[in-house]
Chain A
């Protein structure tokens, strides 16, 4: 159905989509010679009002990443919506013949999160996009734009909305007409990241896979709770925790020290790495979010100092986990040595993972699938040379042997040597 009463103003350039009662046309606005998208629906069609609601929705969004609405017309026979024609290549087209880098993947994903964040923070209440798929993500030179808001709804009206969406892209609760909130778009963005990862040189990156699995969790309760949380996860992957400046980026590197089992010396090695780096003139901070290790050090060490939430002792700098009744201090800028205990999920978001293992026969040691990733270093502590060689063969991975510690508080030469070996390939760490 091509509308007839538009010919005085528009030249039809291309019919993008056409049914008996609807049409989406690429038109030339004769007055200024600009391309526009014109959507027309017959007034008798059940979706006739959707054009008006789409226009209303788009008006409340403060983002340059969504198309501009130019006009809405309502005649006896037809409803029209004229909006900006978003030029560029769709993500699907782009990835047909391009393998993207991890950096580009994360950049696109963050940009997509930005536009969804704008929708969720729109004037008049959150808008649920509901139609995330590669065809709707348009790549322009330095930006990512989103098109087609035909099935978007206000969150407040989501309960009444029809269960529309694209199979394999829409969240399961959306297709089953279940309870809908912002998390349906988290699912959508997660699917896009998954799609990009398959066409990238980061196909096996376990950190991205983990984020995707958290974002596309079938059970809504277990899914990432908001688009901002997903965006933060992406920023963490980008190594961009403090500020978006290259000057501080390298300084906010996170090195996770995680145990493959209990009692393998994870905390001791994490503390020693921190001391070693500070001794070499780098600002390194020990962090343990779950236990009060730094408070215990305060209790047991003499000659400690406290300033701005950090405990100083010789070459050790540890972040104190003050409770809620103490003023919050800005996290320092520097290298973070994160003692993750045996929490693999906490370790996963770090730039480098040092996994500590033991080879004692009574220890139950479990290795994650990502153990073979090159950003994961395996260190055997309290282990014999033979046991370490066996482990290396079994895992097909280099195993570093941590030397036995002396009782004195100082780092031994052997300890310093092994820590230096572990970190020698880190381009941001110069000794």
Chain B
């Protein structure tokens, strides 16, 4: 018999929490190629297409990676230039100043794809209600994660959600105590196509943004 997705554990509180309150969700990668953009797209499309919410996607970066993908239909809103694709509005290659303006004025959910954590971008990250970090505990990446956590100490490390690419048992044991002390680590969900979500993707995405 096919499994029926049941959201009993969250539907009473969490679902309403998501829809009723506009959220800012910031996602950052501890190392390069952690799939930050992929996850941001999945979250934005989940909010936009599955939950029918108003969503703004901010690509906080000097150069846009998404323009060839989502840049077909340009729109202007509140003095900003954006692109509408599959129900989500994208503001690409956005600087901190514009991102702050958007955060203050946008009425709806905002997903912020942060290319790099720095003194400047942390202003935006700290304004997010949901802070997500994606990293890896593989030996060649774990140092990047340590460095980023060190940088975040005192800022927001206690409320951050850390998602790791996959469990790497050997390194996990030896990883810095700080990681395990401060944060709960979860395995990053595998979303096959962020522009073609499946119902089984909904639950991990919802847990992520809650």
A-side residues, CB < 8 A to B, are 292, 295, 298-300, 302-309, 312, 321-327
User: Is A324 a contact partner of B49 (Cβ separation < 8 A)?
Assistant: yes
- Residues in A with CB closer than 8 Å to B202 are 306
Give bound CA distance, A302 to B199, whole Å. 18
User: Is A325 a contact partner of B5 (Cβ separation < 8 A)?
Assistant: no
Report the minimum CB–CB distance from A409 to chain B (whole Å). 16
Nearest chain A residue, comparing its CB with the CB of B41: A325
B-side residues, CB < 8 A to A, are 2, 4-8, 11-12, 15-16, 19-20, 45-46, 48-52, 86-88, 194-199, 202
Nearest chain A residue, comparing its CB with the CB of B42: A325
A300-B16, A304-B11, A321-B52 given; A327·B4 CB < 8 A:
no
A306-B5, A325-B194, A326-B196 given; A292·B87 CB < 8 A:
no
A323-B49, A326-B49, A326-B196 given; A305·B86 CB < 8 A:
no
- Residues in A with CB closer than 8 Å to B19 are 299
Most chain A beta-carbon contacts within 10 A, residue among B6, B52, B87, B194: B52
- Residues in A with CB closer than 8 Å to B8 are 303
User: Is B86 a contact partner of A324 (Cβ separation < 8 A)?
Assistant: yes
Most chain B beta-carbon contacts within 10 A, residue among A298, A304, A323: A323
Give bound CA distance, A302 to B51, whole Å. 16
Please give me the 4 A-B residue pairs with the lowest Cβ-Cβ distance, nearest first: A323-B49, A325-B45, A325-B49, A324-B86
- Residues in B with CB closer than 8 Å to A299 are 15-16, 19-20
Give bound CA distance, A312 to B11, whole Å. 13
Give bound CA distance, A393 to B29, whole Å. 71
Give bound CA distance, A306 to B50, whole Å. 11
A304-B7, A305-B6, A307-B4 given; A323·B12 CB < 8 A:
no
Q: List 20 A-B contacts (CB under 8 A).
A: A298-B11, A299-B16, A299-B20, A302-B11, A302-B12, A305-B4, A305-B7, A306-B5, A307-B2, A322-B50, A323-B50, A325-B48, A325-B50, A325-B86, A325-B87, A325-B195, A326-B197, A326-B199, A327-B196, A327-B198
- The one of B15, B195, B198 in contact with A298, judged by C-beta atoms closer than 8 angstroms, is B15
- Residues in A with CB closer than 8 Å to B2 are 307
Give bound CA distance, A137 to B181, whole Å. 82
Nearest chain B residue, comparing its CB with the CB of A295: B52
- Residues in B with CB closer than 8 Å to A324 are 49, 86-87
Nearest chain A residue, comparing its CB with the CB of B53: A295
User: Is A325 a contact partner of B199 (Cβ separation < 8 A)?
Assistant: no
- Residues in A with CB closer than 8 Å to B194 are 325
Report the minimum CB–CB distance from B192 to chain A (whole Å). 10
- Residues in A with CB closer than 8 Å to B48 are 323, 325
- Residues in B with CB closer than 8 Å to A302 are 11-12
- Residues in A with CB closer than 8 Å to B16 are 299-300
- Residues in B with CB closer than 8 Å to A292 are 52
Most chain B beta-carbon contacts within 10 A, residue among A303, A307, A327: A327
A298-B15, A325-B196 given; A306·B7 CB < 8 A:
yes
Nearest chain A residue, comparing its CB with the CB of B198: A327
- Residues in A with CB closer than 8 Å to B4 are 305-307, 312
Give bound CA distance, A254 to B51, whole Å. 26
A303-B8, A322-B49 given; A327·B15 CB < 8 A:
no
Give bound CA distance, A324 to B20, whole Å. 22
- Residues in A with CB closer than 8 Å to B6 are 305
Give bound CA distance, A133 to B196, whole Å. 47
A306-B7, A307-B4, A312-B4 given; A327·B52 CB < 8 A:
no
Nearest chain B residue, comparing its CB with the CB of A320: B50
Nearest chain B residue, comparing its CB with the CB of A308: B199
Q: Using A298-B15, A299-B15 as known contacts, list a sample of 12 further A-B pairs with CB atoms less than 8 Å apart, ordered by residue number in A.
A: A305-B6, A306-B4, A306-B7, A306-B202, A307-B2, A321-B52, A322-B50, A324-B87, A325-B45, A325-B87, A325-B88, A325-B194
Report the minimum CB–CB distance from B23 to chain A (whole Å). 15
Nearest chain A residue, comparing its CB with the CB of B48: A323
Report the minimum CB–CB distance from A287 to chain B (whole Å). 15
Nearest chain A residue, comparing its CB with the CB of B5: A306
- Residues in B with CB closer than 8 Å to A300 are 16
User: Is A305 a contact partner of B5 (Cβ separation < 8 A)?
Assistant: yes
Give bound CA distance, A304 to B49, whole Å. 19
Report the minimum CB–CB distance from B110 to chain A (whole Å). 17
Report the minimum CB–CB distance from B69 to chain A (whole Å). 12
Nearest chain A residue, comparing its CB with the CB of B88: A325
Give bound CA distance, A295 to B46, whole Å. 13
Report the minimum CB–CB distance from A295 to chain B (whole Å). 5
